[in-house]
Structures are given as C-alpha cells and as structure tokens.
Structure 1
Amino acid sequence: MRAAVLKEHGEPLEIEDIDRPTLDPNGAIVEMEACGICRSDWHGWQGDWEWLGLKPEPGQVLGHEPAGRVVEVGDDVENVSEGDHVAVPFNLGDGSCPECRRGHSNTCENVMPLGFVEPAPGAFAEELHVPVADHNAVRLPDGVSSTDMAGLGCRFMTSFHALAHRADVGAGDWVAIHGCGGIGLSAVHIADALGANVIAVDLQEEKLEKAKSLGAVETVDASDTEDVPEAVKALADGGAQVSVDGLGIETTCRNSVLSLGNRGQHVQIGLTTQEEEGMVSLPTDAMVMSEIEFIGSLGMPPTRYDEIFRLVATGKLDPSAVVSETVGLDDVPEQLEAMTDFGTVGIPVIDEF
C-alpha cells in the first residue's frame, strides 16, 4: 500500500509502497477515506518532543487524524464490524488500565500516540491498524463524511475536551484563544457554541478573519499590538475568564496567562518546540495574586465523542468549518513544509490516497 514515510527529520516525506498492516486479534484495519494534516505532524516531522519520548524515528508513517471504513476485524473484537464508518483518536488507549476504566483513556497509562511511535504506524497511508478496536474505533453518525469528521482524531476533539471538560466556560464568559491554527480555530468555534464571547489572537489577518467567521466577536492582531494581554483585558472588561494557548510557544503561553482576570483559567493545549523543550517561564507571582489556574488538556476520551455528535446533529458544531482544503497523499510533504512559516489557514485534509 502507499504511505508517506519519514526518512529524515526536516526532509520531505517520501511516498512509498509498504506492507499492509498486520491484524491483531483485538484490532481492526481501516481503509483511509480522510486524514487531517495537523501541526503535530509538523512537530513529528521536525523531530520535536524527544523530551516527551515522542520523537518519531526514520521509517515512521505519520498522520493521526484518520477517518474511514473498517475492512477487517480481529477474532477478539466484539463491537466493531466490517463496513463500520469510524474515526480514531490519536491517543490510543489500552481500554483496561486504571485511567481507562475511570473514563480517562486520553491519559492511558499505556497510551500509544498514533503516528509518533513505532508500534502505532500513522494514517498517512491507504490503510491503518487500530489496536484495541472496541475501545479506539469510534463509530461515526450516519450521513457524515470522513473529510468533515477527520478532525475528531485530534484538533477538534482536543479543543472540545479542553473547553467543555477541563475549563469552566459559562454563557457570556470572555474566552481568549491565542494562536489560530487548526486547534485554535476549532477552539474559537467550540467556545462560541458553548455560549462564550470569543477573542481570537494571531499574527495573521487571514486567520483572524477566519476566526470571525467561526464566531469570534473580537480579534487582536499580535503583529501590531505592543501589549497583547492588555489588549485582551481591554476587550474583556478587565480580563478573560478562560484563555487558551493553542500554539505552544513561550510568548503565547505567557500572553494567555496574563490575559486573565481574577480567578481566570489558563488552558494549555499547544505543545512546545525545540526552542522551549517543554520549559516555559511563567508570571507565578501574578498567578498567585489573581488566583489563576493553569490547566493542561490532552486529547479526549472516545467514550465522550457522543457529546460532539449531538451538537453536530443540531447544527451547533460543524467540524468541517475548520477544513481549509482537500489534498492527495502526494501533497503531504508540501503541506508540512508550508506549516514551517504558518502558511496554512485551517486544516488541509487528505481525501485521495
């Protein structure tokens, strides 16, 4: 089968013919119909996250926002059948550890990050093996397209979990989103659906315009704003109730924290680059004086996807609104290169393999 394979960090992925995945007794093989190209793929391509144990090695197939049709299931699989239309979360759980049993499989004790480690080849390929399919293969509602639902593998469900489960977003709250890439734009749309007043912050006018179309009521152009936190506070009547770093660099993290009012909540979604290596200095005294909460958020348990599906069914959420374009597997190297200079708006999705 065809796949986009990492050969060397920072060098273009190569499209190669590789072996089909081997089916485990508890697994399923999914024929890809769509896969988003996420900034996390860019991080993996660059060789980031070695400090987290997530640096993909040469030979790895990247890709972690898949949706498609089940074509084969293992003998021990009970709840997934051939022909099922499914999405697959990037944080594959074993379904049996204490975290999974408590409903927190996004922080599974034996998590396998799809597309980032050798035991879990990714979805930039014609077919994908899904381990523990009864737990990790999420059946999609009738009538939705794989292209529209690909974001449920990472960016859309990650933003939903952050705002609907981890933060305390209330109707009319001011929510600032720092960084309007795929994660940030998804967060803008979701915060708006939850009833918040959204302030979008980015360096690029095109991304800020997209954020407005997704529900942002105010924007801050960080490229010509001397003090981003003060600009947010001026718009948010003294400070946001919730602020999100959707990018993961020191500037956006610190700006997010400083944009908050008393007892505000900072939510960290973005992971850092080689420049920070996971270490960011914070205004801890200001956090103490204002009783600021710092909240980490990772992925989303697949058992809670039905919350998204109910909002999609009523038209309050539309994951496809963040999709910028559809491309072929051969276009993946160029798309990743464009992300180096933040040259994409929204998320490109592969729909031809």
Structure 2
Amino acid sequence: MRAVVFEEYGQVAEVRAVPDPVPSEHGVVVRVEATGLCRSDWHGWMGHDPDISLPHVPGHELAGVVEAVGPGVAGWRPGDRVTVPFVCACGRCAACAAGDQQVCERQTQPGFTHWGSFAEYVALEHADVNLVAVPEELSFATAAGLGCRFATAFRAVVAQGRVAPGEWVAVHGCGGVGLSAVMIAAACGARVVAVDVSPRALELARKFGAAECLDATALTGAGAGTESCGPGSSGAGGGGTADAVRDLTGGGAHLSLDALGSGVTCVASVLSLRRRGRHVQVGLLPSAAGDPVMPMGRVIGEELEILGSHGMAAHSYGPMLEMVRSGALRPDLLVTSVISLDAAPAALSAMGTTPGAGVTIIEPGRG
C-alpha cells in the first residue's frame, strides 16, 4: 500500500510503498476513505510523543470500509462503513469495565502506538469494543473528524464541561477542535466567546455560532504565526485575553476550554473564568515546553475546577450522532480543505508555522 512515512522527527515525510497491514485476532484492517490532518499528528511528527517509534506512519482520525477481520471479531464484516475513536480500548481493564474506554489502561492509538491512517489501509485493535458504524447519509470526509476532534470536543463541552443553556463558554484556539467546541456549545444553548489569532478562524467561529470573537493579536501583539492565542492575565490584576473575556461575559466564562494546547492558552483559559468556573484542557501540551505555571491561588480562592478531556469512548457516540442526523450539529461544515495523500507531507510540515482554518481531510484514493 501507499503511505506517508517519516524516518526522523521533524524531517519532511514522503509517500512510499510499504507492506499491507494484517488484522490481529480481535482486530480489523480498514480501507481508509478519509483521514483528518490534526495538530496531534504534528506533535507526533515533531517527536513530542514518547510512544512513537521510527519509521512511522501518522494519522489517527479516520473513516473507511472494513477490508479484513480477525478470527475473534464478532460484530463486523468486510464492507462495513466505520469510524473509530483515536483511543482504541482493550475492553478488559478496570477503566473499560467502568465504561471509561477513553482512558483505557492498555489503549492503543493509530498513528502513535502503531502505524496510522495516512495510508490506504490501517490496522485497528479490539474491533468489537472500538468500531462505530457510519450512517449511510454521512460522508467519509465528515465521519473522519468524529474520531478525534469533533468527538473530543463533544465530550469536553457536554460531559466534562457540563455546559448549560445560557452559560458563557470561552474557547481558546479555533482550529478543528476549537471550532467543533464552538459549534457544539452554541447548539447546546451557550453563548460562546471565540479567541484566536487568525481572522479566518474567527470568521468561521462566528459562522458556527460564536456570540463574540476576540482577535488575540489586537490584545497582545502576538504574531499570526505563533502557537498561542495570546497570553492571558497574570496575577490578580492581569490583562490580555483573559481580561477581555471577563469583560465581555460580565465577570468571566462559566466554562472555558484550551483547545490549542500551549502554556499561555492554558493559563489564559483558567484566568478567563468567573468564580466556580470550569476549565477543560483539551489541547495537548508539548512535554518539551514543561508544565505551565498555574494560578493556583485563584483556583483555590474562587473554587475553580480544572478538568482534562481525552477523546470519547465508542459507546458514547449515540447522542452526538443523533444531533448530527437532526442537523443540530454540522461537522461537515468544518471541512475546509480536501487533499491527496501526496499532498499530506507538506501539509503536515506546515502545521507548525501556518496552521490552516477549519479541518483538512486527506483522501488516500484521491488523484
């Protein structure tokens, strides 16, 4: 099969022929019809993930057709249309027994723990636990984003964030996850403040339901090519994006998400909250940058909640898919670019300096 392969961290990948995958006893091989280009793929390519061994094929959010099944698979057959959470759970550990497959103790992740979906085929483990049927009316390009950014945002906003109608929700970083969070929070009746450095991203955020949009460059002087959405305030006085969010929301957001993953956006999100507000960390924080210095005095004094959110288990997809079917959620509108496998290496490399607005989908069969 053809796949995107990199031999060294941070070095431009190339498309080459590699051996076809084979299914494990309880796994399947999926013919990849569409796969999303995500910032997490960029982190892996840069060497920020210790689970990756070289050479490597990235890609973790995908949709396609089951091509082959292992002898222990009961619920799936060749020809089935499927997607999968980026966390593939074992189905047997204590976390899985509690229904928390998204934090499985023995999880595998395509594109990280093993070769991923920037390829014509991908192997997936424990199919009966992890596969999700893709409705016929849903395109593969739309379904691909459900496995990571859209499902991740859904759980972050609805389950972890406990969003309620009328609440103020701040979203720091309006890439694929952030725009998904904007759309989901607005669909749930919240008022959303979107923060980013990209005018195009903010334009999309407003289109998807944001009540207010903040250009962080105007508040902080940050360049459009930086990783952050601009620093939040520090100390009790503060300034920057956090003060701007608090001003717009009459005292702070009830719920705030760092959907990018940087020290400054993480802290800005926490400082954007009103008393007893809830911060959800969604974006991955590169380990090389160290842990951000959190304003714990404010966390204690204002009884703030600090929560993490790590994908969504396959069994939890039902409510999200129902909102998609009803038209309340439109993940298809997030797709702003569709490219071929041959264009993927350059697009992956560019994510560190020129992240695009919306979602880029790779179609391996595209000419």
- TM-score scaled to structure 1, two decimals? 0.96
Deviations 1:58-103 (A, max 9, x none): 2111100110001111111111111110001111111111111211
DSSP 3-state at the match of 1:311: helix
What's the counterpart of residue 315 of structure 2? 303
Match of 2:99 among 96, 103, 115: 103
What's the counterpart of residue 324 of structure 1? 336
Match of 1:262 among 275, 278, 285: 275
What's the counterpart of residue 12 of structure 2? 12
Gaps of 5+ in 2: 221-239
Q: Quote how far apart the aligned CAs of 1:152 are.
A: 1.2
What's the counterpart of residue 133 of structure 2? 139
CA contact (8 A) 1:27 1:77 kept: yes
Q: Quote how far apart the aligned CAs of 1:310 are.
A: 0.4
Cα distance in 1, alignment partners of residues 45 and 159 from structure 2: 30
RMSD of aligned C-alpha atoms?
A: 1.1
Q: Does 1:282 align with 2:278?
A: no
Q: Quote how far apart the aligned CAs of 1:271 are.
A: 1.1
What's the counterpart of residue 117 of structure 2? 123
CA contact (8 A) 1:7 1:14 kept: no
Q: Quote how far apart the aligned CAs of 1:49 are.
A: 3.1
Cα distance in 1, alignment partners of residues 253 and 330 from structure 2: 25
Q: Does 1:94 align with 2:90?
A: yes
CA contact (8 A) 2:119 2:364 kept: no
DSSP 3-state at the match of 2:342: helix
Q: Quote how far apart the aligned CAs of 1:194 are.
A: 1.1
CA contact (8 A) 2:30 2:123 kept: yes
Cα distance in 2, alignment partners of residues 273 and 46 from structure 1: 10
Match of 2:53 among 38, 52, 57: 57
Q: Quote how far apart the aligned CAs of 1:267 are.
A: 0.3
Q: Quote how far apart the aligned CAs of 1:334 are.
A: 1.2
What's the counterpart of residue 253 of structure 1? 266
Q: Does 1:216 align with 2:210?
A: yes
What's the counterpart of residue 182 of structure 1? 176
Cα distance in 2, alignment partners of residues 288 and 130 from structure 1: 43
Letter in 1 for 2:299: M
What's the counterpart of residue 35 of structure 1? 35
Q: How does 1:312-351 map to 2 (within 5 A)?
A: 312-351=324-363
Cα distance in 2, alignment partners of residues 294 and 89 from structure 1: 24
Letter in 2 for 1:252: T
Letter in 1 for 2:128: D
Q: Does 1:164 align with 2:150?
A: no
Q: Which runs of 4 or more aligned residues in structure 1 lie more than 4 Å from their structure 2 counterparts after TM superposition?
A: none
Cα distance in 2, alignment partners of residues 49 and 25 from structure 1: 27
Cα distance in 2, alignment partners of residues 180 and 8 from structure 1: 29
Deviations 1:155-208 (A, max 9, x none): 110000111111121001000000111111111111111111000001111111
What's the counterpart of residue 24 of structure 2? 24
CA contact (8 A) 2:195 2:216 kept: yes
CA contact (8 A) 1:263 1:293 kept: yes
Letter in 2 for 1:26: H
Tell me the number of residue pairs that the alignment of Structure 1 and Structure 2 aligns. 346
Q: Quote how far apart the aligned CAs of 1:275 are.
A: 4.6
Letter in 2 for 1:272: L
- TM-score scaled to structure 2, two decimals? 0.92
Q: Does 1:198 align with 2:198?
A: no
CA contact (8 A) 1:93 1:110 kept: yes
CA contact (8 A) 1:6 1:57 kept: no
What's the counterpart of residue 243 of structure 2? 230
Q: Quote how far apart the aligned CAs of 1:274 are.
A: 5.0
Letter in 2 for 1:293: E
Cα distance in 2, alignment partners of residues 332 and 191 from structure 1: 31
CA contact (8 A) 2:29 2:69 kept: yes
Letter in 2 for 1:178: H
Q: Which moved more, 1:182-191 or 1:342-351?
A: 342-351
What's the counterpart of residue 293 of structure 1? 305
Cα distance in 1, alignment partners of residues 111 and 248 from structure 2: 40
